[in-house]
Amino acid sequence: MDLRVVPATPGIDYIADERIREWARALVRADIRTFARARQRFLEKPNAKRLHVLRTSARRLRSLYDDVRAIVPVPKRGALSRLIGLTGEARDASALRIALASALDMRERDAGRRYENMLRKRERRGLRNVYRALLHLHIEAP
Amino acid sequence: MKARTIDLSDATGVEDAMRRIAIVRFAEVLSLAPSLRHGRPAELHNLRIACKRLRYALERFTPRVPSLFDGTTRLTQIQDTLGEVHDRDVLLQALPHDMQVTRARINVQRGEALARARALLLDAFAAYGPFAGLMRFTGLGYGFGDGEGVAAL
């Protein structure tokens, strides 16, 4: 039997309230575990594919934070957002290279190659920046 | 666009909490859908982010509410297509202006992707379409596939 004393506020079901919190905490814990695995894999071998997995898991976690932050703690949301920004720089460079390759006219290939090389450099720099930021980012489940 | 905070303080249970989240995220998508008509890059980008937020939320809910599954698949398609538009918008901003032929090709690709995204969204609201489960769950989106949605897009 639950003997906790709770203030009687009309319209609030405290048992339901606790069930919702527990559901939200379980979702946050699961997403943090997924992010931690993606982080570990990226640190072992930073490449574009693992960056994509890392970025997706970070975005999912931040999105969940935004959904449930009114009822459960959302640890390190700011640091997570900064990391997502960094992953975006590396990902954009990679995506732009692919988009450019699909449209580049051969008469303009010299200018296109210059731009492509610049994107490659930006992508490598982005991977390094993500790696450095990840070394300092550990998220503990609430 | 910042995600709206969702008030779950007086939700009556887990399903009600899921419904409240889905309503807010779906409303964000619906309010940004008209950007598919005028095609302004910043608003299209916001629509893509809103689709992503809604999809992430629905994917969490599908184990309890399987009827939301078709909606998540369609949102992935819309979001990927809007991603193609976004990549081309960024490319057009950054490419040198003397690369005229390449820029023209990118513009054509952008237009095609935008038309695909528009068709994917409108079709999702059809009777028994991919958003049928989402519309039932949230009570939103009725009429979008025929009247107001067509006018907006």
More confident of the two residues A70 and B150: A70
Per-residue pLDDT at B47 exceeds 90: yes
Nearest alpha-carbon partner for A39 in A142, A106, A111, A133: A133
CB contact under 8 A, A112 and B21: no
Nearest-neighbour CA in chain B from A41: distance (Å): 22
Q: Is residue B30 part of a domain?
A: yes
So what's the ipTM on this one?
Answer: 0.89
* Domain with B47 in it: 14-152
* pLDDT over 60 (residue A9): no
Cα distance between the two ends of chain A: 26
Q: Please indicate, yes or no, if residue B1 is contained in any of the structural domains.
A: no
Q: In chain A, where are the structural domains located?
A: 14-135
* pLDDT given for residue A18 in this prediction: 87
Rounded Cα gap, residues A25 and A15, in angstroms: 15
**Which two tokens mark B115?**
């038309």
Q: Is residue B83 part of a domain?
A: yes
Residue B82 lies in a domain: yes
Answer whether B23 touches A (CB < 8 Å).
Answer: no
Alpha-carbon gap, residue B17 to A21, rounded angstroms: 10
User: Which chain B residues are Cβ-neighbours of A115 within 8 angstroms?
Assistant: 94-96
Q: Is B140 left (phi over 0), alpha (psi -120 to 50) or beta?
A: beta
Tokens of B40: 């302004």
Q: Domain for residue B117, yes or no?
A: yes
pLDDT value at position B143?
Answer: 77
Q: Does B1 touch chain A (CB under 8 A)?
A: no
CB contact under 8 A, A99 and B102: no
Our CA-based measurement puts residue A5 at a distance from the nearest CA of chain B, in whole angstroms, of: 18
Residues in CB range of A11: below 8 A, 6 or more apart: B10
pLDDT of residue A65: 95
Provide the sign of the torsion angle of the four alpha carbons B109, B110, B114, B117, taken in this order: positive
- Would you state the structure tokens that stand for residue B110, as one six-digit string? 């952008």
* pTM: predicted TM-score of the whole model, two decimal places: 0.89
Average pLDDT over residues A80-90: 94
pLDDT at B151: 61
Would residue B86 count as lying in a domain?
yes
Q: How far apart are CA B118 and CA B115, in angstroms?
A: 5
Question: Cβ–Cβ of B10/A11 closer than 8 Å?
Answer: yes
pLDDT at residue B91 tops 50: yes
Cβ <8 Å between B102 and A104: yes
Task: Compute the distance between CA of residue B13 and CA of residue B8 in angstroms, rounded to an integer.
Answer: 10
B95 falls within a domain: yes
Phi, psi of B51 (to 5 degrees): -60, -40
Residue where the block lists tokens 């550990």: A138
What are A10's two structure tokens? Answer: 């009309």
Structural domains counted in chain B: 1
What is the rounded average pLDDT for all residues in chain A? 88
Q: What is the pLDDT of residues A96-133, one digit of tens each?
A: 999 999 999 999 999 999 999 999 999 999 999 999 99
Which one has a higher pLDDT value, B61 or B98?
A: B61
Contact A96 B14 (CB under 8 A): no
Q: Calculate ∠ Cα A55-A49-B68, nearest 5°.
A: 55
- Has residue B133 been placed in a domain? yes
Q: How far is B123 from chain A (nearest CA, A)?
A: 26
